[in-house]
């Protein structure tokens, strides 16, 4: 995903496990310090992310709606909340651009 420093966007993943495991997928955009619940829709999990220069109020958006501010290019970590069976997985790169 390409993310402009002053932009925002949905970081979305189609996650298929065999066998399926119920639970809420979480992503960490800061190396595992904080974990954010994803929003599911038909097998796709999404997180609203923004670049460090994004101004939510400038576009009439509630600043709390942005789930993560990306300060540098990152490969997010993924896990199912409260599930000791699954290891932490890696998502795909969010490339922060000017």
Q: Which domains does the chain have, with CATH numbers?
A: 2-97 (2.60.40)
Query: Residue 92 forms beta bridges with which residues?
Result: none
Confidence class of residue 22 from pLDDT cuts 50, 70 and 90? confident
24 versus 15: the higher-pLDDT residue is: 24
Kindly list the distances between the CA atom of residue 9 and the CA atoms of 1, 21, 70, 84, 96, in Å, as whole numbers in the listed order. Answer: 9, 27, 11, 30, 12
Question: pLDDT by residue (tens digit) across 52-77?
Answer: 999 888 877 777 777 789 999 999 99
pLDDT for 42 equals: 86
Q: Are 28 and 76 in contact (CB under 8 A)?
A: yes
Q: Are 57 and 37 in contact (CB under 8 A)?
A: no
d(CA 75, CA 29): 7
């Amino acid at each position: 995903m390409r993310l402009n420093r002053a932009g925002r966007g949905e970081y979305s993943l189609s996650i298929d496990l065999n066998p399926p495991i119920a639970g809420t997928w979480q992503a960490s955009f800061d190396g595992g310090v904080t974990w954010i619940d994803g929003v599911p829709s038909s097998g796709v999990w999404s997180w609203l992310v923004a670049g460090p220069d994004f101004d939510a109020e400038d576009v009439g958006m509630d600043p709390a709606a942005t789930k993560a501010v990306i300060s540098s290019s990152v490969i997010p970590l993924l896990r199912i909340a409260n599930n000791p069976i699954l290891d932490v997985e890696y998502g795909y790169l969010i490339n922060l651009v000017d």
